[in-house]
Amino acid sequence: MSVSRTVQESARVAVAVRLGDPGRETVARRNLAEAKIADAIERALAVAPPLTPSQIKTLTGLLRTGGQR
């Protein structure tokens, strides 16, 4: 069984915290957030009907702006 990307990124955060490396921790936390978001998107798309081009544009906009409207 493979280890999920979210678990791998969580481990990287823990290592950075343990080492007391703030720069490494920031990068690890950003990567963990991306992995969690990607997992959530994949789960949602797996059960949803196909999105319209307009819906895809809306979601893409959210990602491009970091959720800021």
Where exactly are the structural domains of the chain? 5-64
Each residue's pLDDT tens digit, 8-26: 999 999 999 999 999 999 9
Q: Is 9 within 8 Å of 35 (Cβ atoms)?
A: yes
Each residue's pLDDT tens digit, 26-49: 999 999 999 999 999 999 999 999
pLDDT in the model for residue 1: 53
Residue 67's pLDDT band (cuts 50, 70, 90)? confident
Q: Is 28 within 8 Å of 12 (Cβ atoms)?
A: yes
Instruction: Find tokens 């069984």 and name the residue.
Output: 1
**65 token code pair:** 């702006």
**27 token code pair:** 């990068």
Report whether pLDDT(2) > 70.
no
The torsion defined by the Cα of 30, 34, 35 and 38, in degrees rounded to 10, comes to 170
**43 token code pair:** 């789960």
